[in-house]
Amino acid sequence: MLGAWEPATSGYVVRSLMAASLALWLGFQLHLDSPFSAASTVLLLIHPLQGAVVGKGFNRVLGTLVGLAVALVLISLFAQKMLLFILGIGVWLGLCVGAMTVLRHYQATAAVVAGYTVCLALGPAIVAPQQGFEHLVGRGTAVVLGVLSLSLVATLFSRKTVERTLHTALQDVSSRTLGVLAARVNAETTSAPGPLILDISKVDELLGMGRGESFLIRTRRVTLQAGLAYLHAVVLDECVLPSQARIGADLQQLAQAMPGFAVAADRVRALQSSLESSAGQQRLNEQLTDLASALSSFACLERAPQPPARAVGFHRHYGAAVRNGVRALLATLATGAVWYLTGWDQGPTLLAVLGPFCTLLAISPAPEQGIASFARGIFYGILAAAGCKFLLLPHVSGFGLLTVVLIAFWSVGIHATTRPRHALQGIAYLITFNTLVGTGGTAQYDFTDFANQALAWMVTIAICLLAFQLIPGKTASHAHVLRKALHKDTRRLLRHGHRIDLLKWQATQQHRMVALQALSGADEAGLVSLQLGRQLRLLHRKTRDLDPDSSIARCVQTGNRRISRHASHSAISAAQARRTSRSLTRLGAHDLAACYQDLAGLLDHYTQVSANTTKVR
């Protein structure tokens, strides 16, 4: 069962039905060859949030224009060469699916649409190249109509809620982070809470959706992302802090009351200024600094001045991008082979269906389950389309009655998209139903042609299953890639730490650790890696003002060079850090010597946890 129709769900369904009906009406009014394509565009774009609709719509139009431009190039080059035509489509689809894998938020939407627009537009062009340009124009017009219809309905009949939701979410994660830090100061816990780590990342997804709805979010997104990176830095730092009962009580009180972000930031800075200047308080001081910076960044939502935004980095899974791109290319070549060898007249349908399938399945965390869900949605869509087209539509005349009948079928699929478990199934049902039941200006009821098209949909899903089976991707391998990237960037830190942006490096490592947290739990080597980054940042801060010609500066330079030279062997780097510490002690730089001694301890710890991780794998 899909569940009850809640008021919020009902409003979303009604808006989606209005937009799909408007797009279909415009398609008929403009006498498009395929007016149902405009409604299909709406059904692919539907989302409960107004900002997501507008943002996805703009990027869908952008992706469509890019896809149509590429389609024109392919037509001009390979109009009479089917094999090269299919290869060109496969290469472009693979590039777009790969780009979609590494891009984030709406940029991924543009890549997705640019990929499958070529499939949708060029299938008929292979059969009738002389009509290729007309088909491209018709396809672009249908997309624009669908985007405008949905954006208009969403703007008129939905409320802007992202700003309020974002403010509430930021207050929640900030309050919980204050509570975590208070507990650490009170020596109650030292472990990073997994749910909080993941919830901070979910706020970033909300930022992505809010860009299309709120000018405030769009102009302050970088600052807000920097604040989230600061929060992650506090939560992921599991060091043992000295007990500070007064500061712990003040932090706990602040977590419970949670005033405005600017006020909270000022109070955290006041607590920071009350700390004694000692080595034991250094780590607590750093965490309070990060927390105050996060709260100051969030205060920009309260129209406070924006602080300078730190660099923020994200992990890009290029291996997955290559794998998904090769899958799409393989599926396209297999589809072309089936078409070429059988001479099936549904070749354009195979290509048109293949593009969306490859892109939607590539982003699924479990593609095999996604294919099964797609298959169920297609099956239900075929049954619904058959009943609608051959039992109901012959008795319907006029656009009004047509819309009433279609709404009865659309509403089921739209409601399914509100349930994460049934979302892919709902999308497959909607697109299958809308495509198979679609007609032009004159309705045609040819059951043989209908069955032929329905079979093409099932053959396409079988080809996708084959491609994903031949080039599988496992969750365990993704976790392995993340751990490998963590260790690679740790070695890069030791080798080039004085030349890289340490804050951006830290944000990228944090992003990988959050992804690992979602897959297999916390990674101890990653936590130690972050501590190494903080220690090196501290060393750079302490040594940047040294006289280059002084003996202490030369000792530091020599030590850093030796540590960098052995970056691939952290145990040797630890020995070099201790050697540097002893040399600095003889020169009387006891503070710097203690810092290098701490660095050696962290490198020893990293060596140990890295070895343990290797044994577990």
Domain residue extents for the chain: 7-159+316-470, 162-302, 475-616
Check residue 314 and give its pLDDT. Answer: 78
Which one has a higher pLDDT value, 540 or 239?
A: 540
Checking 345-348 for CB contacts under 8 A at 24+ apart, the result is 345/452, 346/452, 346/453, 346/455, 346/456, 347/123, 347/126, 347/127, 348/123, 348/124, 348/126, 348/127
Structure tokens given for 358: 């490859």
Listed in sequence order, the residues at least 6 apart from 221 whose beta carbon sits closer than 8 Å to its beta carbon are: 207, 211
Residue 191, pLDDT score: 57
pLDDT surpassing 70 at residue 82: yes
Q: Which two tokens stand for residue 345?
A: 């007249």
Residue in 584, 522, 582 with CA at minimum distance from that of residue 550: 584
pLDDT of 321 above 50: yes
Torsion sign (Cα): 591, 595, 598, 604? negative
Is the pLDDT at 383 greater than 90? The verdict is: yes
Contacts of residue 547, defined as CB under 8 A and 6 or more positions apart, other chains included, come to: 553
The alpha carbon torsion through 547, 549, 552, 558 (nearest 10 deg) reads: 120
Residue type, 285: N
Q: What separation in angstroms does the CA of 157 have from each of 16, 40, 88, 102, 153?
A: 10, 20, 42, 34, 6
- Grouping H, G, I as helix, E, B as strand and the rest as coil, residue 213 is coil
Taking each helix axis from N to C end, the angle separating 447-470 and 347-362, rounded to the nearest 10 degrees, works out to: 40
**Helix 590-616 with 524-543: angle, nearest 10 deg:** 160
Q: Which residues have a Cβ under 8 Å from the Cβ of 78 and sit 6 or more positions away? A: 84, 85, 88
Tokens of 332: 């396209």
pLDDT at 382 over 90: yes
Helices (H), 497-523: 502-520
The answer to whether 540 and 498 are in contact (CB under 8 A) is yes
**Which amino acid appears at position 271 of this protein?**
L
Query: Tell me, what's the pLDDT at 385?
Result: 92
Average pLDDT on 544-558 reads: 87
Query: Does 515 or 174 have the greater pLDDT score?
Result: 174
pLDDT at 166: 87
With bands split at pLDDT 50, 70 and 90, how would you rate the model's confidence at 499? confident
Residue 105 gets the label, from left (phi > 0), alpha (psi -120 to 50) or beta, of left
Asked which of 61-70, 87-96, 115-124 is least confident by mean pLDDT, the reply is 115-124
Split at pLDDT 50, 70, 90, the class of 616 is: very low
- Backbone torsions φ then ψ of 365, nearest 5 degrees: -65, -25
Q: Report whether 402 contacts 422 (CB < 8 A).
A: no
Q: Tokens at residue 461, please?
A: 């899903």
Predicted TM-score of the model (pTM): 0.78
State yes or no: pLDDT of 430 exceeds 80.
yes
Report d(CA 39, CA 399) in Å as an integer.
Answer: 14
Say which residue, 424 or 578, is predicted with more confidence. 578
pLDDT at 410 over 80: yes
Count of CB atoms situated within 10 Å of the CB of 45: 26
What's the rounded mean pLDDT across residues 377-384? 92
State the average pLDDT over residues 546-551: 86
Per-residue confidence (pLDDT) for residue 388, from 0 to 100:
92
Residue 44 phi/psi, 5-degree rounding, is -80, -20
Residue 1 has pLDDT above 50, yes or no: no
DSSP classification of residue 37: H
Q: Which residue type, as a one-letter code, is found at position 450?
A: F
Residue with tokens 């490096």: 505
Top mean-pLDDT range of 58-67, 277-286, 391-400, 510-519: 391-400
Q: Which residues contact 487 (CB under 8 A, 6 or more apart)?
A: 525, 529, 610
What is the pLDDT at residue 241? 66
Model confidence at 611: pLDDT above 80: no
Amino acid at 223: T
End-to-end distance of the chain based on CA atoms, in angstroms? Answer: 40
Phi, psi of 307 (to 5 degrees): -75, 160
According to the model, what pLDDT value does residue 22 have? 93
Average the pLDDT over 531-535 and give the result.
86
Would the pLDDT of 340 be above 80?
Answer: yes
Tokens of residue 203, six digits: 């706020």
- Tell whether the model's pLDDT for residue 208 goes beyond 80: no
| CA atoms within a 13 Å half-sphere pointing along the CA-CB vector of 248 | 14
Q: Which residue has the higher pLDDT, 487 or 191?
A: 487
Q: Which CATH number fits domain 162-302: 1.20.120, 3.30.1390, 1.10.150, 1.10.287?
A: 1.20.120
pLDDT recorded at residue 579: 92
570: nearest Cα among 601, 539, 534: 601
Instruction: Name the nearest CA neighbour of 317 among 495, 103, 125.
Output: 103
Q: What distance in Å separates the CA atoms of residue 375 and residue 428, rounded to the nearest whole number?
A: 8
Residues 315-325: what's their mean pLDDT? 82
Q: Is residue 280 scored above 80 in pLDDT?
A: no
Amino acid at 209: M
Look up tokens 């409601």; give the residue.
415
Q: What DSSP state is assigned to residue 582?
A: H
Q: Are 136 and 240 in contact (CB under 8 A)?
A: no
pLDDT averaged over every residue in the chain: 82
User: At CB < 8 A and 24+ separation, what contacts does 238-244 make?
Assistant: 238/190, 238/191, 238/192, 238/527, 239/190, 239/283, 239/531, 240/190, 241/184, 241/185, 241/187, 241/283, 241/284, 241/287, 242/280, 242/281, 242/284, 243/185, 243/186, 243/187, 244/185, 244/284
Count Cα neighbours of 617 within 13 Å in the Cβ-side half-sphere. 16
Segment 481-489 shows an average pLDDT of 85
Cα 147 to Cα 264, 322, 410, 573: the distances in Å are: 42, 30, 18, 57
